[in-house]
């Protein structure tokens, strides 16, 4: 999308935006892509200022087909390459909303410090409920969408209120941290003792997640240019709570009862595709779909070749479209 050809020829230095330096202004790029973008802040129940974004079909387009409520992954944000997917969905008739998690992007909090994922779930529910109350979107089907840690958060949101959402798109969900990046014994046990007194300490020894997520070398350079990307080592409190949450989710796969599609690369070295297979097998959901993409890695919607990205996009769009009862653009 946008200047993809420019990306494939080789990334420029000091890109202002992930698509390049032309157009320079974000709103001009949105207009070029045929969507309407907006930015704001939402105050969470605990008083945090959370940076939010929306990507909507143009006013001249048919009414939205549905609402997609999106959660990014660890160390990421909603301003750089994450935008590629909601822009694509908005072009195809979906109203998309996302926010930077606590300590990520432009949201308040110590960088990449998420000591209690349950509080982040509270943040997400608060923001998503504010959208539900917007008269422009009342009556539309609402879907959760989560990448990596965001997929785990979507499942936790579902457990809070199993009937509130009409479906979930889970992209490489972090229902278990891959053994390839999970600290080996006895490191977690030692770190848990240190975390009691120094939870913000960024010392957890693990590989660079971005480099293990992105396949295309030129795109690793683009990802590295993200001015908001967290580049430090994971903080003790964050890692320990993610281990707690993923262990909890792994025990509750059989309680999942929401329509969902789970998408995973077979060569994912960050989250475990076998756990996505286990989720598909164990979930009580009658409407469930799984896609395992042979040879693909963790970053399915940015880090792969354009051909691979289009395949994943088609699967997501087809799944969402089939559950919108003929609403809006492209429904025929």
> What would the pLDDT profile of 189-199 be if each residue is shown by its tens digit?
677 778 788 99
Q: In terms of residues, how long is the chain?
A: 332
CATH number at residue 13: 3.40.50.1820
Q: Which of 31-45, 49-63, 172-186, 231-245 is predicted least confidently?
A: 172-186
Strand order in 260-265's β-sheet? 35-43, 49-57, 94-99, 66-71, 142-147, 167-171, 260-265, 288-293
Q: What is the mean pLDDT of residues 171-183?
A: 76
328 part of a folded domain: no
pLDDT at 183: 60
| Structure confidence by residue, pLDDT tens digits, 110-155 | 999 999 999 999 999 999 999 998 999 999 999 999 999 999 999 9
Residue 285 sits at the vertex; the CA angle it makes with 279 and 291, to the nearest 5 degrees, is: 50
- Please choose, from the candidates 26, 75, 76, the residue with its C-alpha nearest in 3D space to the C-alpha of residue 55: 26
Active site residue 148: yes
Q: What is the mean pLDDT of residues 8-29?
A: 79
- Catalytic-role residue among 44, 54, 148, 299: 148
177 SS3 class: strand
Structure tokens at 254: 């059989």
Predicted pLDDT at 7: 41
- What band does 85 get if pLDDT is binned at 50, 70 and 90? very high
Inside any domain, residue 193: yes
Q: Residue 146 falls within a domain, yes or no?
A: yes
What is the average pLDDT value for the chain, to the nearest integer?
A: 91
Residue 168 inside a domain? The answer is yes
Q: Which of 77, 268, 272, 276 is catalytic?
A: 268
Q: Which domain holds residue 246?
A: 4-322
Asked if the model's pLDDT at residue 310 lies above 70, the reply is yes
- Rounded Cα distance between 178 and 200, Å, is 23
Residue 327 maps to a domain: no
- Asked whether residue 273 is assigned to any structural domain, the reply reads yes
Which pTM does this prediction carry? 0.92
In a domain, 90, yes or no: yes
- Helix, coil or strand: residue 83: helix
Number of independent structural domains in the chain: 1
Catalytic residue among 104, 158, 264, 298: 298
72 is an active site residue: no
Which of 25-29, 60-64, 200-204 bottoms out in mean pLDDT, i.e. has the lowest?
200-204
Catalytic annotation present for 3: no
Judge whether 330 lies within some domain: no
Higher pLDDT, 326 or 275: 275
Mean pLDDT is lowest, of 4-13, 86-95, 178-187, for: 4-13
């Amino acid at each position: 999308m946008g200047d993809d050809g420019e990306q494939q020829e080789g990334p420029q230095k000091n890109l202002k935006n992930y698509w390049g330096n032309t157009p320079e202004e974000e709103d001009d790029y949105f207009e070029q892509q045929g969507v309407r973008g907006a930015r704001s802040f939402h105050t969470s129940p605990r008083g945090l200022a959370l940076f939010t974004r929306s990507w909507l079909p143009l006013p001249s387009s048919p009414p939205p087909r549905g609402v997609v409520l999106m959660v990014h992954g660890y160390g990421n944000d909603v301003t750089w390459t994450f935008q590629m997917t909601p822009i694509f969905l908005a072009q195809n008739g979906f109203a998309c909303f996302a926010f930077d998690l606590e300590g990520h992007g432009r949201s308040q909090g110590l960088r990449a410090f998420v000591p209690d994922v349950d509080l982040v779930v509270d943040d997400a529910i608060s923001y998503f409920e504010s959208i539900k109350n917007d008269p422009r979107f009342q009556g539309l089907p609402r879907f959760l969408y989560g990448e990596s840690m965001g997929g785990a958060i979507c499942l936790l949101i579902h457990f809070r209120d199993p009937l509130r959402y009409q479906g979930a798109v889970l992209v490489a969900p972090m229902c278990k941290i891959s053994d390839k990046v999970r600290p080996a014994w006895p490191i977690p046990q030692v770190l848990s003792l240190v975390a009691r007194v120094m939870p913000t300490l960024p010392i957890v020894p693990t590989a660079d997640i971005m480099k293990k997520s992105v396949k295309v070398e030129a795109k690793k350079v683009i990802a590295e240019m993200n001015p908001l990307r967290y580049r430090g080592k994971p903080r003790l409190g964050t890692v320990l709570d993610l281990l707690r949450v993923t262990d909890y989710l792994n025990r509750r796969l059989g309680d999942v009862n929401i329509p969902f599609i789970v998408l995973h690369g077979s060569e994912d070295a960050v989250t475990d595709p076998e756990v996505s297979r286990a989720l598909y097998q164990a979930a009580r959901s009658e409407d469930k779909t799984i896609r395992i993409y042979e040879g693909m890695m963790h970053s399915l919607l940015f880090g792969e070749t354009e051909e691979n990205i289009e395949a994943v996009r088609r699967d997501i769009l087809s799944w969402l479209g089939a559950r919108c009862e003929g609403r809006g653009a492209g429904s025929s």
